[in-house]
Amino acid sequence: MEPDLETNPSEDPIQPEKANSAGNDPHPPYEFSFQAARTGHRIACLNGKALSSSYDPQKEGLRLAQGLLALARKQEDIRHIIIVGAGSPYLLKALQAEAGEASLEAGPLQISIYEPVPEVYQWICENQSYRMPVIQSRQEALQYVQSRPVLVFPNRSLVQNFAMYRRAFEELDEAAIRRQINLNTLSKFGSLWARNLYANFPRFLGAAELTALKGAGRGKPAIVLGAGPSLSDHLPAIAASPRREDFLVIAVDTALSVCRIHGLEPDFALTVDPQPINFYHMAGESFRRTILLADSASSPLALRRWAGRLIRLQNAFPLSRELARISGHTDLDSLGYGGSVSTNAYDLALYLGCSEVLMVGQDLSFPASKVHASGAALEELWSFREHRLSSRETGNYRQRFSVPVVHLPSETGAVHSNDKLNVFFNWFNRRFSEDTDRIQISLLRTGGVAFTHGQFFQTFSEWESQRVSAVARDNGVEPDIRDPRARLSASGSPSATGRSTTEVGSPASGISIPGLPNLADLPEPAFQKLRQALRLLKEEFQALVDACASEKLLFANLDRLARAIRLAGTGMQREIEELKEQGKLSDDFRMSLKGQAARHARMLHRLLARLDR
């Protein structure tokens, strides 16, 4: 038995001490102490509650180690595991005894442990016989999870009974899920993104950049319109508000057709979806004053008919940044992205400097089996596509059950949602918690999910009345929630035509967004410089195609073709993961890289031909 793992209670009295945070994540102070188990082994306690078995901590560690290794052996694709919460050194000892020290360090299975309690971490580090990686820094643990495919394994007794361990597990598990979603997204949409980026290049040449909007809405409240089923309940009141000039309206693309039906012209609209079906949300929607913020990889079909003002949103795709550099879009600002255009819309409200954000239509579920708001483009599309063998109800069912079902908390218990919407729900919950000091967060009733932060209102009128009263109190006057046009009429100040002198308009109409010269206005020297940069990039991709003929030739040109390799490899995430695992360059990887480089060269050839026309 290791001498530092046991103690005589009479020789080691419990000395409670105040501890700080786990890593860099602030937690309330807690009492940390040691005590003896019935077997005489030393065990750690938080607030007087044992982190290990108070009977036999060694046996508990052995049982946990055996369960973990049994799980790992059933899943052959698992190579990296991070255990959240050791609680004591006994788990490490059991893992090394069961799997062997050499196996854990350099074998096919690599296990690390994240221990967020500093005192437990120090206790483990005092025993030099354990070489298994033990992480105490929150940032280091997140970096580990985000840099490779990892199974996040909870020490269940700690995660279930201690909030500190539970938060640590949830954060790492969410990071691992986000990483996998990003990889899946790149694998699924990588080729589509590349095609859209090249196709959109001429369209975005004259577009403004996001930095033009920084602080443009300072002091104003923003209403963010999602396309959830509850949007239909609240939009008529928002559209009819006599105080329209007092707030900014930010709408996602899926809500635009619903806004048009109710006569509401948003100040800002956002579109980020690269899929061609997004065209249906934007077809025919070109509001006169609305500013459209479009991802540089969004569907070219969706942008084709937009005649209003346009802002180019930066994309994390390396090719997007390279094309932005060539076109002169140097702004590095970007909006937070949680997988849904609604997350971009929420972050835009913060970027504008708004004082309050009111979330509308954020159901993130399927209340009453509904998928979208009434009037949404894809809902109305069924009026044309429906036939005897493909009904609206069948399409609705497929949308609700195509992704694994998850039940999320609601005001009435639980509501039917799915894995995809759960990711957005967690993103909003996390951001609402982080942003409470930056912006006042309000939400309108949805019948869907219930967020843990923010003030809820049953109707838009209730929110508007509360806001008018709050503004009046701040100004030291009696609140008057009547229609402002009615107040003007009562005060005897109508215009000569009998109309109100107050015009309800769009606040965004006064926002100036200077853009770059579009293709038609580009001076000839600037056009030739842009064309030359694209031609050089095309030649690099063609050189990469030639270099992929052999492994020796590819390695000889790695430095010269580094940019082309980085850009072409973005759509090869699965192959890159396999390359990391195998540690060598396979012929399959080389052929995949050659194919991607050839595709980029062809698309650049077409882009240059379009610019010359």
Same domain, yes or no, for 221 and 126? no
Among 178, 196, 218, give the residue marking a domain's end.
Answer: 178
User: What Rg value do the Cα atoms of the chain yield, rounded?
Assistant: 29
Same domain, yes or no, for 167 and 212? no
Phi and psi, residue 312, nearest 5°? -85, 125
Residues 6+ apart with CB under 8 A from 430: 174
pTM attached to this predicted model? 0.75
Same domain, yes or no, for 258 and 391? yes
Show the 3-state SS of 96-119: HHHHCHHHHHHCCCEEEEECCCHH
In a domain, 12, yes or no: no
- Host domain of residue 336: 205-478
Same domain, yes or no, for 462 and 552? no
CA distances, 423 to each of 179, 251, 310, 556 (Å): 12, 20, 29, 43
Q: pLDDT value at position 516? A: 65
Determine the residue type at 424: F
Same domain, yes or no, for 173 and 211? no
Same domain, yes or no, for 470 and 555? no
Show the 3-state SS of 54-110: CCCHHHHHHHHHHHHHHHHHHCCCCCEEEEECCCCCHHHHHHHHHHCHHHHHHCCCE
In a domain, 136, yes or no: yes
- What's the token pair of residue 35? 């005590």
Same domain, yes or no, for 215 and 277? yes
In a domain, 366, yes or no: yes
Among 445, 478, 511, give the residue marking a domain's end.
Answer: 478
Structural domain count of the chain? 3
The rounded distance, in Å, linking the Cα atoms of 373 and 584 is 51
Same domain, yes or no, for 433 and 529? no
Partners of 17 in the β-ladder: 32
In a domain, 224, yes or no: yes
- What's the token pair of residue 157? 């007794």
Q: pLDDT value at position 150? A: 86
In a domain, 40, yes or no: no
Classify strands 356-360 and 221-225 as parallel, antiparallel or unpaired: parallel
Q: How many helices (H) and strands (E) does the chain have?
A: 23, 19
| Residue written as token pair 């643990």 | 141
Same domain, yes or no, for 310 and 446? yes
Residues 6+ apart with CB under 8 A from 188: none
The rounded distance, in Å, linking the Cα atoms of 400 and 416 is 9
* CATH number for the domain harbouring residue 132: 3.90.190
Same domain, yes or no, for 172 and 211? no
In a domain, 581, yes or no: yes
Q: Is 20 exposed, middle or buried (0-12, 13-18, 19+ CB in 10 A)?
A: exposed
In a domain, 9, yes or no: no
Give the dihedral of Cα atoms 599, 602, 608, 613; nearest 10 deg.
-130
Q: pLDDT value at position 106? A: 45
The rounded distance, in Å, linking the Cα atoms of 290 and 270 is 10
Are the beta carbons of 148 and 80 closer than 8 angstroms?
A: yes
The rounded distance, in Å, linking the Cα atoms of 454 and 443 is 7
| Residue written as token pair 């046009």 | 485
Instruction: Give per-residue pLDDT as tens, 13-23.
Output: 333 333 433 33
Q: pLDDT value at position 470? A: 77
3-state helix, strand, coil in the chain (%, to 5): 50, 15, 35
CA-closest candidate to residue 309, choices 404, 216, 174, 435:
216
Residues 6+ apart with CB under 8 A from 13: none
Same domain, yes or no, for 157 and 211? no
- What's the token pair of residue 586? 């396979």
In a domain, 27, yes or no: no
Residues 6+ apart with CB under 8 A from 393: none
Among 420, 448, 478, give the residue marking a domain's end.
Answer: 478
CA distances, 490 to each of 345, 424, 472, 482, 487 (Å): 39, 47, 19, 11, 5
Are the beta carbons of 186 and 212 closer than 8 angstroms?
A: no
Give the dihedral of Cα atoms 56, 61, 67, 71; nearest 10 deg.
170
Instruction: Give per-residue pLDDT as tens, 179-195.
Output: 877 777 777 778 889 99
Residues in the chain, pLDDT under 70: 1-28, 76, 99-108, 128-131, 284-286, 472, 474-510, 512, 514-517, 571-584, 613
Q: pLDDT value at position 403? A: 83
DSSP 8-state class, residue 357:
E
Residues 6+ apart with CB under 8 A from 492: none
Q: pLDDT value at position 351? A: 95
Residues 6+ apart with CB under 8 A from 394: none
Q: pLDDT value at position 506? A: 56
CB atoms near residue 255 (< 10 Å)? 33
CA distances, 242 to each of 147, 245, 246, 324 (Å): 51, 8, 9, 41
Same domain, yes or no, for 234 and 330? yes
The rounded distance, in Å, linking the Cα atoms of 221 and 441 is 10
Length of the chain counted residue by residue = 613
Q: Which ranges in 264-374 belong to alpha helices (H)?
A: 279-282, 300-303, 318-327, 341-351
